[in-house]
């Protein structure tokens, strides 16, 4: 190992930063956050630094660097754009046995400032020893995405009760098992959901319970988005990493499933119209069985679980059976397909409202408020509409929607094979037939749909 990694407690210790620009500003912010007493030495300061001086948060040494600035200082950071000056600061520090860092000059530095993932009190520091800070930054981005934000509060909680935990489980193996439960179980889930008081109470209950708390399963209803894995939320990604079992729809793309924990059990409960499918009741039973067996169950749905996804029914069923249930929203098809086709769903000139509708089944057709939908200057986003395009078009025209109202069909939205077919409402059924549109496809009707011609940026236009 090249460098010796340390985390320094700088509380109340004087630290000098030479330079008063934006780089210095960033370094000073971190130093202040760790409690150091910052002196900034420079002839000129940024407005933000000046304000901090005025507020008495930092001390200003005016002028050009002189070795006396180092009096009483524990660390120094040289952050000027003058290489010679930086070198002089480093040399003076070396004479006085003060550790120095010169920004972007590892050869002149006695210590390096790592890239940091902050989940205070948990801190992850990454360094390449100055070899390639860009790589350190990339690693930091990966960890930022991976590390749950609730790790901060969890670590703080463990810190507060550490002595009691050690007393309760003096045996190391048992203690480890308890910490595993803290990290993987319901306490963490509560913290993730901003319920810190309940989390603490649960930890205390477990401390007073006669035995280790029994595992209890949880179901996460997770929105997988429309297909492009880049549209997953961080929460969804983390859920996929933690899941013991994943029950997914057929709409969930392979690229998304590939991000799941390798050893998670995967069950395809895809409900394809016409094809082989799993009844909703069966899905409920599967969810229940796996959760009751103490597993972390992820119910992964295309788009958003609460938009034409029957997530509401699954949540109600699970609650009736006493199973904890959490929802991770996803980017719904209407939002994603519109974006990937360059169609703003609302637009000050073209549409002030958006209707999310489903064209699935006769009942939904009959239930629609056709006179309202036939008004112009509004957008309709129709899910599962491919099979009923004739009827849909006819009804809209009958109720007076203009025949030249633009439409766009986005097939396989956000996937590499995305196609956009567009035209005027009167030609909708014919064009869809001509281009052999297949599900999944989302239909957008309304003035905004015309914008796809000018603003398409993804996939192909038919």
What φ, ψ does residue 87 adopt, rounded to 5°? -65, -40
Residues 22-41 interacting with ligand SAH (rule: CB under 6 A): none
Number of residues that bind ligand SAH (CB under 6 A): 24
- Closer of 101 and 332 to ligand SAH (Cβ): 332
Q: Scanning the structure block, which residue is given the tokens 């025209």? A: 397
Task: Please calculate the CA angle 390-394-395 and round it to the nearest 5 degrees.
Answer: 120
Q: Output the six-digit token pair for 102.
A: 């010169």
Measure the CA–CA gap between 294 and 162, rounded to whole angstroms. Answer: 26
Q: How far apart are CB 387 and ligand SAH at their closest, in Å?
A: 9
Confirm or reject binding of residue 78 to ligand SAH (CB under 6 A).
no
Site string for ligand SAH, 346-385 (x = CB under 6 A): -------------------------------------xx-
- What angle in degrees, to the nearest 10, is found between the helix axes of 196-208 and 151-160? 40
- Closer of 69 and 383 to ligand SAH (Cβ): 383
Residues in the chain: 462
- Closer of 383 and 407 to ligand SAH (Cβ): 383
Which among 72-80, 184-192, 213-221, 330-338 is the span making contact with ligand SAH, rule CB under 6 A?
A: 330-338
Residue 271 annotated in active site? yes
Contacting residue, 442, 445, 448, 449, with ligand SAH by CB under 6 A: 442
Confirm or reject binding of residue 301 to ligand SAH (CB under 6 A).
yes
Q: Output the six-digit token pair for 129.
A: 């020893």
Q: How far apart are CB 385 and ligand SAH at their closest, in Å?
A: 6
Contacting residue, 65, 178, 181, 308, with ligand SAH by CB under 6 A: 308
Contacting residue, 413, 423, 446, 459, with ligand SAH by CB under 6 A: 413
DSSP H helical segments within 66-128, as ranges? 83-95
DSSP state at residue 428: H
Which among 4-12, 68-76, 116-124, 298-306 is the span making contact with ligand SAH, rule CB under 6 A?
A: 298-306
Q: Scanning the structure block, which residue is given the tokens 């956009």? A: 420
Confirm or reject binding of residue 304 to ligand SAH (CB under 6 A).
yes
Q: Where are the beta strands (DSSP E) in 98-216?
A: 99-102, 115-119, 122-126
Contacting residue, 154, 237, 410, 450, with ligand SAH by CB under 6 A: 410
CA distances from 112 to 26, 97, 119 (A): 15, 16, 20
Please tell me which residue in 82, 216, 271, 427 is annotated as part of the active site: 271
Q: Output the six-digit token pair for 174.
A: 């048992």
Which among 143-151, 286-294, 300-308, 321-329 is the span making contact with ligand SAH, rule CB under 6 A?
A: 300-308
Residues 127-146 interacting with ligand SAH (rule: CB under 6 A): none
Question: SS3 for 77?
Answer: strand
Diameter of the chain measured on Cα atoms: 89
Site string for ligand SAH, 204-243 (x = CB under 6 A): ----------------------xx----------------
- Closer of 185 and 309 to ligand SAH (Cβ): 309
Q: How far apart are CB 329 and ligand SAH at their closest, in Å?
A: 9
Contacting residue, 36, 45, 333, 451, with ligand SAH by CB under 6 A: 333
Q: Scanning the structure block, which residue is given the tokens 């993730």? A: 192
Please tell me which residue in 244, 249, 301, 304 is annotated as part of the active site: 249
Residues 236-295 interacting with ligand SAH (rule: CB under 6 A): 251
- Nearest position to ligand SAH, beta carbon: 303
Site string for ligand SAH, 334-353 (x = CB under 6 A): ---x----------------
Measure the CA–CA gap between 195 and 203, rounded to whole angstroms. Answer: 13
What φ, ψ does residue 332 adopt, rounded to 5°? -75, 155
Q: Scanning the structure block, which residue is given the tokens 């930091």? A: 140
DSSP state at residue 21: S
For residue 253, which of 456, 459, 416 has the smallest C-alpha distance?
A: 416
Measure the CA–CA gap between 282 and 247, rounded to whole angstroms. Answer: 11
Measure the CA–CA gap between 169 and 164, rounded to whole angstroms. Answer: 9
DSSP state at residue 354: E
Which among 56-64, 181-189, 412-420, 428-436 is the span making contact with ligand SAH, rule CB under 6 A?
A: 412-420
Measure the CA–CA gap between 213 and 48, rounded to whole angstroms. Answer: 51
Contacting residue, 440, 449, 450, 452, with ligand SAH by CB under 6 A: 440
Q: Is the dihedral angle over the CA atoms 325, 326, 328, 329 positive or is it negative?
A: positive
| Residues contributing to the site for ligand SAH (CB under 6 A) | 226-227, 251, 301-304, 307-309, 332-333, 337, 383-384, 410, 412-415, 439-442
């Amino acid at each position: 190992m090249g460098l010796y990694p340390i985390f320094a407690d700088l509380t109340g210790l004087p630290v000098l930063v030479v330079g008063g620009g934006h780089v210095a500003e960033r370094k000073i912010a971190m130093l202040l956050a760790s409690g150091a007493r910052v002196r900034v030495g420079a002839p000129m300061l940024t407005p933000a630094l000046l304000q901090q001086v005025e507020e008495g948060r930092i001390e200003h040494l005016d002028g050009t660097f002189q070795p006396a600035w180092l009096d009483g200082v524990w660390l120094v950071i040289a952050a000027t754009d003058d290489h010679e000056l930086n070198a002089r600061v480093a040399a003076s520090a070396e004479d006085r046995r003060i550790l120095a860092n010169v920004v972007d000059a590892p050869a002149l530095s006695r210590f390096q400032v790592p890239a940091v993932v902050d989940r205070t009190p948990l801190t992850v520091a990454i360094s390449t020893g100055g070899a390639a800070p860009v790589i350190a930054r990339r690693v930091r981005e990966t960890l930022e995405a991976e590390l749950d934000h609730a790790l901060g509060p969890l670590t703080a909680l463990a810190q507060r009760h550490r002595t009691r935990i050690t007393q309760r489980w003096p045996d190391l193996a048992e203690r480890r098992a308890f910490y595993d439960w803290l990290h993987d179980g319901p306490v963490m889930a509560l913290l993730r959901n901003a319920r810190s008081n309940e989390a603490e109470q649960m930890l205390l209950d477990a401390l007073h319970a006669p035995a280790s708390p029994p595992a209890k399963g949880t179901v996460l209803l997770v929105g997988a988005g429309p297909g492009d894995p880049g549209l997953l939320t961080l929460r969804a990604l983390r859920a996929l990493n933690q899941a013991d079992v994943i029950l997914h729809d057929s709409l969930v793309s392979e690229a998304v499933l590939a991000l799941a924990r390798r050893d998670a059990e995967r069950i395809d409960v895809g409900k394809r119209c016409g094809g082989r499918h799993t009844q909703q009741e069966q899905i409920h039973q599967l969810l229940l069985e796996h959760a009751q067996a103490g597993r972390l169950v992820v119910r992964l749905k295309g788009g958003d679980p609460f938009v034409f996804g029957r997530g509401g029914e699954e949540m109600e069923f699970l609650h009736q059976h006493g199973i904890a249930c959490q929802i991770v929203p996803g980017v719904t098809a209407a939002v994603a397909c519109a974006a990937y086709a360059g169609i703003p769903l609302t637009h000050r000139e073209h549409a002030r409202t958006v209707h999310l509708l489903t064209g699935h089944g006769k009942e939904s057709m009959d239930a629609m408020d056709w006179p309202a939908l036939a008004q112009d200057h509004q957008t309709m986003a129709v899910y599962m509409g491919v099979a009923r395009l004739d009827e849909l078009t006819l009804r809209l025209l009958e109720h007076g929607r203009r025949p030249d109202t633009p439409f766009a069909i986005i097939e396989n939205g956000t996937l590499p094979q995305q196609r956009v077919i567009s035209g005027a409402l009167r030609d909708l059924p014919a064009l869809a037939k001509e281009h052999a549109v297949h599900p999944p496809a989302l239909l957008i009707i309304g003035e905004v749909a015309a914008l796809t011609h000018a603003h398409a940026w993804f996939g192909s236009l038919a």
